[in-house]
Amino acid sequence: MESGHALRRNGCPSSQAKVQSLVVKTHRSLEAWREARRVTVLVLEASRAHWKPWASALFGQLLRSSLSVQLNIAEGAAFGRSPSYTRHLGIAYGSAVETGELIELLSEAGVLPAGMVATLREHSSLSQRLLVGLLKRHRPMS
């Protein structure tokens, strides 16, 4: 073994060793996607534990908006560094802001307990900040 690669008889790394040594970066490597995923899972847990018929529209929209953040980051990343990627990040950011607003509405209506609201706020806010950072990095300066 040399440099962590399996060698063939001719001294060149085998194709299997080359494949294993590659680090493939996907949308899952983005901290913004991972945080959006945390928000989505928290929203699913909150919906399961605290759903009320009179708040069903709020919960339904909260589920859609939180999913939209995660899925638009993933979809945009599939386009590589392109205008489509930036457009999807913008959509994800809009959905993240919507998610934050819905969390506030559910809090003000007394539907969610204070501890859950605090956790949702924290992760939702971080998700928004991470998306702003990505947008600043990828949007052309005007």
Dump pLDDT digits (tens) for 32-67: 999 999 999 999 999 999 999 999 999 999 999 999
Show me where the domains of the chain are located.
27-138
Token pair 């706020």: residue: 121
What CA–CA distance (Å, rounded) separates 24 from 33? Answer: 16
What CA–CA distance (Å, rounded) separates 17 from 12? Answer: 10
What CA–CA distance (Å, rounded) separates 133 from 127? Answer: 10
Does 27-138 carry CATH code 3.30.420.40?
Answer: no
Dump pLDDT digits (tens) for 72-113: 999 999 988 889 999 999 999 999 999 999 999 999 999 999
Token pair 């680090």: residue: 23
What CA–CA distance (Å, rounded) separates 8 from 138? Answer: 42
Q: Is 135 exposed, middle or buried (0-12, 13-18, 19+ CB in 10 A)?
A: middle
